[in-house]
Amino acid sequence: MAVKKPGGLAGVEAGVTAVSTVGKDGRGLTYRGYAIDDLAERGSFEETAFLLIRGKLPNVDELTDYRRKLDAASRLPETLKRILELLPADAHPMEVLQAGCVALGTLEPESPQRQAADIADRLIALTGPMLLHWHHFHRGEREGATGPPAKSAEPQQAVFTADTADGLPDGDGPDCPAAGEPPQEEAEDPTAVEAAGSRQPSSAGMPVPPDEDYTVAGHFLYLLHGRHAAIRARRVFDISLTLYAEHEFNASTFAARVTASTLSNFYSCIATGIGTLRGSLHGGANEAVMELIERFESPEEAAEATRARLARKQLIMGFGHRVYSVSDPRSDIIKKWSEMLSFWSKDGYLYPVSEAVERVMREEKNLFPNLDFYSATAYHFMGIPTAMFTPIFVIARLAGWTAHIMEQRENNRIIRPTAAYDGPDNLLWLELHARR
Ligand SMILES: CC(=O)SCCNC(=O)CCNC(=O)[C@H](O)C(C)(C)COP(=O)(O)OP(=O)(O)OC[C@H]1O[C@@H](n2cnc3c(N)ncnc32)[C@H](O)[C@@H]1OP(=O)(O)O
Ligand SMILES: O=C([O-])CC(=O)C(=O)O
């Protein structure tokens, strides 16, 4: 007898939300009524996070205050540093984040004085530093280094830092709007890079960030590379955070809402979200994409291997979607930026390889790339190690999870569906000694 494919709640309206929607025909995407294109291309991640968590876009003063608040919240407590240092070097980065989140919950518990929105801001600001503290601590341990990461220790592809942007002409791609960035040109001042590199490292060898206008994106890239990233890289990273910030009842958000519905605490809801996001059918797909495409050396090889995988009924990660019918609007945005980064970083083949996979998927399966597909190369071209792709998704999605946890709490009923039972019935009880 053929086994029936599980429904996976496809098409089931499992609740009501005012946070975001993909629209009735599964085409567009809006966060609290604002189109994703406007948010990503004209706004900044901090504006998006504020909108999702607080329900409205910030004005100039609110945005300035919000960035200052995040900046101040991005300092790791010493106890948390020590906890992160105790985690094994080969731990899964998503487990490091889960552990860090739960540990922070014991150090700074939710209370009437410290409520969901403030904890969310703290986690948005601290998740990158947590990950990178653990990363640099263990790399220092392995290599016997105590200073900021040496450039040679970074991934071998072009690291998109301020100096590698030197000489690249402006205007060779879409304009890089200055949203979320200080109104200055590329951070190409060699003294700025020098100053960053010569600062005293923290106890774990993680560089102390210099004073600059804080953005979550800029701060992450600075802590990763130990130097300012080029404005273009910061901007694309910022756009990717906005694209990843929210997506209605996706699996991790729904899981976080289920946890919230039991009246559990905020940190537990977030830890649930992180655990659910990790899987390769969800957030983990961006890493799986990179692992797949970097095996190919040419578009021809990629096309042939993709056809072969499909013939073996294997999934190609980064394609397909539960709620979009014709395309993922976020993919169109990140694809354009991935192409630009590919050009700027002088990538000779990875972007064409990705396009070859996309072509075959359209021809053979009529499937389109989702956000995870071109995000993988975009991050890769910024010199971000593959193992950090899904953790970056966490930084962004914290905003969406928080909006949903708060919404669930405002009008709560425990989420507890029914199950159709198809197990055995009326079995005869056998005493222990009579069982085989
Ligand atoms: C930001 C994000 O989290 S986006 C999602 C990231 N995840 C991925 O990219 C993983 C790859 N994609 C998938 O596994 C799926 O498309 C999901 C998980 C995203 C959606 O799953 P579902 O809605 O259950 O789609 P479902 O599995 O029913 O797919 C319909 C058909 O398309 C096929 N299909 C769907 N996605 C893919 C894919 N990536 N590669 C190959 N075939 C696929 C399925 O095998 C299925 O074929 P069948 O009808 O012959 O069995
Ligand atoms: O909505 C989904 O199922 C997955 C997704 O794209 C997301 O969470 O961003």
Residue found under tokens 């976080």? 256
Residue 357, both tokens: 């996979």
65 is catalytic: no
- Ligand 2: which atom is nearest the Cα of residue 252? 8
- Ligand 1: which atom is nearest the Cα of residue 322? 23
In testing the pocket of ligand 1, which one of 244, 315, 323, 366 has its CB within 8 Å of the most ligand atoms? 315
Task: Please name the residues in contact with 382: beta carbons below 8 A apart, sequence gap of 6 or more.
Answer: 159, 160, 221, 229, 233, 236, 237, 341
Q: Does domain 62-277+389-410 have CATH number 1.10.580.10?
A: yes
CA-nearest of 270, 277, 255 to 94 is: 277
Assess whether the C-beta atom of 319 lies below 6 angstroms from ligand 1. Answer: yes
- Ligand 1: which atom is nearest the Cα of residue 321? 19
Interval between CA 321 and ligand 1 midpoint (Å): 6
Alpha-carbon distance 50 to 32, whole Å?
Answer: 11
- 3-class secondary structure for 361-390? HHHHHCCCECHHHHHHHHHHHCCCCHHHHH
- Ligand 1: which atom is nearest the Cα of residue 373? 9
Measured from the alpha carbon of residue 245, the closest ligand is 2
Q: Is 207 helix (H, G, I), strand (E, B) or coil?
A: strand
Name which residue sits closest to atom 4 of ligand 2, judged by CA: 250
Assess whether the C-beta atom of 330 lies below 6 angstroms from ligand 2. Answer: no
Interval between CA 396 and ligand 2 midpoint (Å): 13
What are the residue ranges spanned by the domains of the chain? 62-277+389-410
Measured from the alpha carbon of residue 389, the closest ligand is 1
Measured from the alpha carbon of residue 22, the closest ligand is 2
Interval between CA 317 and ligand 2 midpoint (Å): 13
Instruction: Catalytic residue, from 71, 328, 347, 372: name it.
Output: 372
Assess whether the C-beta atom of 397 lies below 6 angstroms from ligand 2. Answer: no
321 is catalytic: yes
Instruction: Catalytic residue, from 136, 138, 225, 321: name it.
Output: 321
Question: Is 0.90 exceeded by the ipTM?
Answer: yes
CA-nearest of 218, 215, 235, 236 to 227 is: 218
Assess whether the C-beta atom of 27 lies below 6 angstroms from ligand 2. Answer: no
Assess whether the C-beta atom of 289 lies below 6 angstroms from ligand 1. Answer: no
Alpha-carbon distance 371 to 330, whole Å?
Answer: 6
With vertex at residue 54, the alpha carbon angle to CA 95 and CA 66, rounded to the nearest 5 degrees, is: 80
Q: Going residue by residue through the chain, which has 436 residues, state the pLDDT in tens, using 9 for 90 and above.
A: 667 788 999 999 999 999 999 976 777 899 999 999 999 999 999 999 999 999 999 999 999 999 999 999 999 999 999 999 999 999 999 999 999 999 999 999 999 999 999 999 999 999 999 999 999 999 866 565 444 443 333 333 444 554 444 323 333 333 443 333 433 333 332 222 323 333 333 444 555 555 558 999 999 999 999 999 999 999 999 999 999 999 999 999 999 999 999 999 999 999 999 999 999 999 999 999 999 999 999 999 999 999 999 999 999 999 999 999 899 999 999 999 999 999 999 888 999 999 999 999 999 999 999 999 999 999 999 999 999 999 999 999 999 999 999 999 999 999 999 999 999 999 999 999 999 9
CA distances from 418 to 9, 195, 264, 415, 421 (A): 12, 60, 21, 10, 9
Measured from the alpha carbon of residue 309, the closest ligand is 1
Q: Whole-angstrom distance between the N-terminal and C-terminal Cα of the chain?
A: 28
Assess whether the C-beta atom of 32 lies below 6 angstroms from ligand 2. Answer: no
